[in-house]
Structure 1
């Protein structure tokens, strides 16, 4: 079983700013048969990092599989960081996956306070549970399993908890998820999903995951030249919005009532 119950960070970061946190997105775990409630740390479940539900989070599509999440307190996090995250200040936090060189860098800028690798260079699964300012980041390990190459726990799904929102980035996901995986992920209000259909998983597989997570907002990424319609056909009950901007602002109070795929400019 790969259930993340208590995870201490393996990271490069400030001991003052980067701390162990308590997830507020894991209550779903007690509704799955045979799965215990997934609690991080010794404290009872509570709002992570002093989240205020009315606050707004800005999400910007940078490139490929990189989104930049900006918290109400100004903390910037870049997903699948390969050395660049578009214009703006350097991220405070970066997450990385190692399936390809476009998803990580061996030489992140030393000014980045918190670098979270989706794999453990020392072997075994990476385990992250880090709070920086008003942002909590944790991971759920997944396997690399593509074209005959298998590496257990070689990548991670990262979950970002900020301002009452639960934001998940599937990374370079190669396989379907188990009940234990879903329990460890918990509730996701926003889902960032690769839709290439070849280098990661099929559009059908990604559609099944998106349907089960039933997130309010789905943000496609990692598309290459694949027609986005192939992914959309797998989740016909989701609304679709195409935006002319690269950024979107979301809050816990303004999430769409119907699950919606939002396609930002550049995707």
Structure 2
């Protein structure tokens, strides 16, 4: 076999191995269907000011994060719910097929899986692109057989100037002191509230108390009923703001004085 043939064969095996783990994760989450995919309408928005960041809730666990320097990130990038623009960076988790893609857009510059596809341990990412730094904090997930897949997913942290955003991903367990130290100071937290496929709602309240972010944005709630149950549980802890649009522009200076839950439309 020639050198070129061996190289092509090696590349094919590498690509097959890269997504071997999530092939077993077939989504049983309700409402996760191709028709959930976002429309690809052109985005026409005002430019962001210095130190500002725009968050758009695309749906499920996917947010589009845009920096003033023009860097775009899609969280839990998958084949069902995608932003209407191609991100520069895509983060993924393998808990269900609605949290990762087996065929990410080849125009994406950095695809960051929240697990180590080789199975040798935890994923380790620390990437800087323009005015954005992305790093991950590994967490465990439950398998379909009820076992624990240690370091099987990640929380991703996005640092833009003085602003720190944490996406908790498909979190299945309470956070320990080591997780909190690794997260560091969090200004904005994006967290799942379904209470069944991820951590139960009471457990998520304890996570939010520990993280102490000034802005808390729920995701992964499938419908208004689940979201409202969570908001009822949290009503004595934090005020709630409901926005009419799925996007919000924030900066360090514009964060609310007190920790606040901000609900963006979507599911």
Same fold (TM over 0.5): yes
Q: Which residue of 2 aligns with 1:106?
A: 102
Q: Counterpart of 2:206 in 1: which secondary structure?
A: helix
CA distance in 2: counterparts of 1:234 and 1:134, whole angstroms: 37
Q: Which residue of 2 aligns with 1:155?
A: 153
The alpha-carbon deviation at position 265 of structure 1 amounts to 1.4
Q: Counterpart of 1:209 in 2: which secondary structure?
A: helix
Deviation readout 1:6-56 (Å, 9 max, x if unpaired):
xxxxxxxxxxxxxxxxxxxxxxxxxxxxxxxxxxxxxxxxxxxxxxx9521
CA distance in 2: counterparts of 1:85 and 1:106, whole angstroms: 13
Q: Which residue of 2 aligns with 1:197?
A: 195
Q: Which residue of 1 aligns with 2:134?
A: 137
Deviation readout 1:62-92 (Å, 9 max, x if unpaired):
01000110000110001000035232x2000
How many residue pairs were aligned? 214
Given that 1:54 and 1:253 are in contact with CA atoms closer than 8 Å, whether structure 2 keeps it comes out as no
**Within 5 A, what are the aligned runs for 1:38-57?**
54-57=50-53
Q: Which runs of 4+ in 1 moved over 6 A?
A: none
In structure 2, relative to structure 1, the CA distance for the partners of 1:76 and 1:164 (3 Å cut) is: same
Q: Counterpart of 1:174 in 2: which secondary structure?
A: coil
CA distance in 1: counterparts of 2:141 and 2:76, whole angstroms: 15
**Within 5 A, what are the aligned runs for 1:1-267?**
54-83=50-79, 84-87=81-84, 89-123=85-119, 124-145=121-142, 148-225=146-223, 226-235=225-234, 236-267=236-267
After TM superposition, the structure 1 stretch with the greater mean CA deviation from structure 2, 218-227 or 158-167, is 218-227
After TM superposition, the structure 1 stretch with the greater mean CA deviation from structure 2, 172-181 or 53-62, is 53-62
State which structure, 1 or 2, has the greater radius of gyration over its C-alpha atoms.
2
Gaps of 5+ in 1: 1-52
Structure scoring higher RCO (CA < 8 A, sep ≥ 6) equals 1
Gaps of 5+ in 2: 1-48
CA distance in 2: counterparts of 1:64 and 1:228, whole angstroms: 12
CA distance in 2: counterparts of 1:165 and 1:232, whole angstroms: 25
Deviation readout 1:82-128 (Å, 9 max, x if unpaired):
035232x2000000000000000111111100000000011210000
Given that 2:139 and 2:171 are in contact with CA atoms closer than 8 Å, whether structure 1 keeps it comes out as yes
Q: Which structure's residues are more often helix, by fraction? A: 2
CA distance in 1: counterparts of 2:143 and 2:105, whole angstroms: 30
Deviation readout 1:129-171 (Å, 9 max, x if unpaired):
0001111000000011255132111000000001311000000
How high is the TM-score relative to the length of structure 1? 0.77
Q: Counterpart of 1:192 in 2: which secondary structure?
A: strand
